[in-house]
Homo-oligomer: A and B are copies of this chain.
Amino acid sequence: MHDDERKYGLLREAALSLSLLTDEERSGMLCRLADALDKRRGAIRAANEADIEASRGKIPDALLHRLTLSEGKLDGAIEGLRAVAALPCPVGRVKERRLLDEGLVLEKVTYPLGVIGMVFEARPDALVQIVSLALKSANGLVLKGGREADRTNRAIVDIIRDCLDGAPWLMLLSSHGDVDEMLSMEGLVDLVIPRGSNAFVRYVMDHTHIPVMGHADGICSVYVDKSADPDEAVKIVVDSKTQYPAACNAVETVLVHQDIAASFLPRLAEAFASFPVEMHCDEASYSIIGGCGHACHATDEDWDREYLALECAIKVVASADEAIGHIARHSSHHTDAIVCQDEALKQRFFHEVDSADVFCNCSTRFADGFRFGLGAEVGISTSKIHARGPVGLEGLTTTKWQLSGSGQVVKDYAEGRSRFLHKELPL
């Protein structure tokens, strides 16, 4: 066995030990960590200041903003630890219980996945959130954060190790080479969650046999139907675009039914003007709002662009069918919303739009683990396998089938001497 495999083997053993503790013990660890972070704010903030100084002028302001762990963000992270501690225990839950025959009971029980490999952007509060979910669900964790946050991440991990007996279930990586090593640990790492650019997520998928969960693009749409309440529609589109334009759940394409385009679009353009939001318009919408100053002609590429900025594409459609068809072709299957007052159409949109999150009459920005009531999230998955949408504790668990018998053999059933009862038992 190589040294690197031995290291991952030890991590795996530590994760098993973690899973043998009670939920009360693990939640106690979360609260201890919350106290320790609160007490050692000084060290964390100093490390973060150094990280910010080293990056100032070298990365865009939006990234610098993400890198900054302000007192407010630190408060939120500490509060988050206590909130996750208070959630119900996600492991050891019996999801099915069935009497196969007298004295032969089948149970499907939730267990931790084992070891999670997580690569994430330079955002130190994300580290705390990820640790909280892994610890609560009794998983081992391999972490690699964006290098701009190295000092802050190390300061936080030092505190974790100090207050949680060395936290042998946690490994912090420091280089791309370390990430490649992790990706080769099939059988020792159970799930990899990459957050970052499209190209990076694809790189991870192409370089590992470990299952990968995550999302590449966040190309989200809002379709404003002819039945929409126009005030509501303006409010929802503006929030979806402007409340945090750099988020993956911000809207990138606005589709408007032709019957209301002439009245709705000028109102939207007016509301957008104060930010201002640059509008990439198809011909029909340009003919209505082209003169308003922040409009330009859309190109073919605009329908597949994730702007992550105060820009969006706008298209007039002849029908809900055309809107659903456009979403099928161009959406990244993350979050798509409809604004309408037509219940049957809403149900059709929910059924036919094949995305992780389908919303009606609210902002796409609600697509988030905390807002969904999951406590926190390790990320948002656009895969249809395992976990889909915001991933909280449940996505970090697997199940086992546990069958308890009293000497039963299959021969007796195959030869008709015994028969299955298959009776559901209370959970």
Contact = CB atoms under 8 A, between A and B. Distances in A.
A47 interface: no
Given A209-B205, A385-B211, A405 B360 contact: yes
29 contacts: A19-B351, A98-B372, A100-B372, A104-B366, A111-B351, A211-B384, A232-B407, A236-B407, A239-B411, A240-B409, A350-B400, A357-B403, A358-B403, A359-B405, A361-B404, A361-B407, A362-B404, A362-B405, A362-B407, A362-B408, A363-B405, A363-B409, A366-B410, A371-B420, A385-B398, A388-B399, A388-B401, A389-B399, A390-B401
Contact of A373 (B20, B100, B236): B100
A106 interface: yes
Interface string A233-268: 001101110011000000000000000000000000
A225 interface: no
A100 B236 contact: no
Nearest to A99: B373
A229 interface: yes
Contacts of A414: 243
Among A114, A346, A406: residue with most chain B CB under 10 A: A406
Number of copies: 2
Nearest to A415: B243
A191 B389 CA distance: 18
Contact of A400 (B355, B404, B408): B355
A398 B388 contact: yes
Interface of A: 16, 19-20, 98, 100, 104, 106, 109, 111, 113-114, 190-191, 205, 209, 211, 213, 229, 232, 235-236, 238-240, 243-244, 346, 350-352, 354-363, 365-367, 371-373, 383-386, 388-390, 398-411, 413-414, 420, 422
A401 B371 CA distance: 12
B100 A366 contact: yes
